Amino acid sequence: MTVVVGVGSPGSAQTANGGKVYPFSTIGNVTPVTVLARSGERQSITFHNPGANDVLVYPTTTGTGAANAPTVAAPGGAFRVFSNGGSLTITGECQQAWAALTVAGTNQPLTVMESNV
């Protein structure tokens, strides 16, 4: 007997029932917005920027566990998601909390999708 289990099938685990999409419309360039809480089950994150300004996304802690708080003036520790349809997918070691800020302007949109598979 062969059992085949896929995402969303009755035999899949509750946390593996497909991706979760989170829309944001108020990313600013001064105060970072937390876009994902820490999750030990997360396998990948996709950031999509439909707006007119680039967005910086970053884990809130570094590899050593220290706080990570990049700024527009000092963006080290962040990944740039380019404007007008740019996307970035992070896989593997992405379980920490993530935050975002835009490089210019306010009320920048950002779409975030996480997956546990």
Structural domains in the chain (count) = 1
Residue 10 in domain: no
pTM of the model: 0.84
Residue 36 in domain: yes
pLDDT per residue as tens digits for the range 4-33: 445 544 444 555 556 699 999 999 999 999
Residue 15 in domain: no
The whole domain housing 28 covers 22-115
Name residue, tokens 């884990």.
59
Residue 60 in domain: yes
Residue 16 in domain: no
pLDDT per residue as tens digits for the range 22-61: 999 999 999 999 999 999 999 999 999 999 999 999 999 9
Instruction: Give the pairing type, strands 98-102 and 33-36.
Output: antiparallel
The stretches of 18-115 forming alpha helices (DSSP H) are none
Residue 6 in domain: no
CATH code of the domain containing 48: 2.60.120.380
CB atoms within 10 A of CB 78: 22
Structure tokens at 50: 């439909």
